[in-house]
Amino acid sequence: MLTETLGPVLIANRGEIARRVIRTVKRMGLRAIAVHSEADADLPFVREADEAVLIGPANPAQSYLDTDKVLEAARATGAKAVHPGYGFLSENSAFARAVIDAGMVWIGPAPESIDTMGDKINARNLMEAAGVPVAAGTREPVTDLSQALKAAESIGYPVMVKTAGGGGGIGMSVAHDDEGLAKAFEQAARAASRFTAGDALAGPAVLLERYIERARHVEVQILGLPDGRVVALGERDCSVQRRHQKVVEESPSPGITPELRERMLAAAVRAGEAVGYLGAGTVECLVDADKQDFVFLEMNTRLQVEHPVTELVTGLDLVELQLRVAAGESPEVRPVSAGHAIEFRVYAEDPKRFFPGPGKVVTWDEPTGEGVRVDSGYETGNTVTPFYDPLMAKLCVHGDSRADALEKGRKAVAAFIVEGPKNNLPFCAELLENAEFVTGDYDTGLVARMRALGENI
């Protein structure tokens, strides 16, 4: 049935996630079709696909983000389904509709769900109505500073200021007073304009929420099934961040109690049910580390970068589940978490200031061993270009306990040799010796504190 419904599958992405999806697609007996830019012609995912199509120059707007070129490649190769990976077009409802209108299977949630959850203000209002805890904040888009100042007075400082659309921490900042709010609002408004470009009537849609001083970023993996069920597959801690962007994740979260975990899983299921969610998605929450309570943050309507830690502790293949759900199956999924997993995102970036550092890979030597998994997009001889996200690989470890996973992490990070482009492996090694991280008692301010203390990151 899968072959008739889905094969061949076109992967509308690049790098490590394209390579990872290709692996499961081929294991399931389906043909995998890659699309690639001129800059990526020599990357492993192009070689490992059953067929690869050049769709344009390095500029993503002329290749990976060009919906017409991606759909043209799908038609030319006889693709029956499209998997978007993450980033690029993965949360573009117009692209999802175009795939469906072309008679292909969209391996993701319904376009309507993408639209609903893509607007953070609409999403938080829907979640509140569904009984999911939300932070005190604005219920309508804030479009000018006077509105923002009035809202902040009602909410109380400090406040988090962010765009109503988009993700990845873009435009986010914290304001502690009116002066700080003016700067934060201007920054968020500029970022928001990127999501409303071309709409002359749209203002800079900004959202304000009460800021949790000592917060953990914890997310719940859900799977919506065609029979209407929504299943929670566990949670992940994503609190190690720089510039509000994740760099290390682990599962289960060491910072929450079993009682809080159960409440979060139940809330995530309600969230999925409220939007009629289908496929793999993530309900992100902010946890007050001191009060052991949580609020809804946002929902990502796609596969997450950090999905491997959930796979390692549950033994599930989330891409396979995505494919089966897209084919109309409702598999019985009863996840049982075992052990502890940690993911280190290996970026081509300066390990001290985290600025991108592209370049040619002179040496690429991945660690191996029991409980070690590397999802990589590069190998020796490839070039990390400045055109895309600098993520090179995801180094994941799985142990019987968190202490076991930490020790495996230390050995694996030390054994991972990348020469050529700058990389953040020294930061990962430093993190693994940081007292807060080792004890598990950390929050989203950890990396900033490491920098302030002058540690060698």
Q: Annotated active-site positions, please? A: 302
Q: Which residues pair with 343 in a beta bridge?
A: 249, 396
Helix and strand totals (H; E) in the chain: 16, 20
Report the DSSP pairing between strands 32-37 and 51-56.
Answer: parallel
Burial zone of 329 (CB within 10 Å; 0-12 exposed, 13-18 middle, 19+ buried): middle
**Cβ of 407: how many Cβ atoms within 10 Å?**
14
- DSSP labels for 105-125? EESSS-HHHHHHHHSHHHHHH
Residue 140: phi and psi, rounded to 5, are -130, 160
Residue 171 to residue 169: CA distance in whole angstroms: 6
Instruction: Name the CA radius of gyration of the chain, rounded.
Output: 21
Query: Which runs of consecutive H residues, i.e. helices, occur in 133-257?
Result: 145-155, 178-195
Question: CA 273, 275, 281, 284 torsion: positive or negative?
Answer: negative
Residue 252: phi and psi, rounded to 5, are -75, 165
The CA-to-CA distance between both ends of the chain, in Å, stands at 50
Residue 177 to residue 137: CA distance in whole angstroms: 16
**Cβ of 227: how many Cβ atoms within 10 Å?**
8
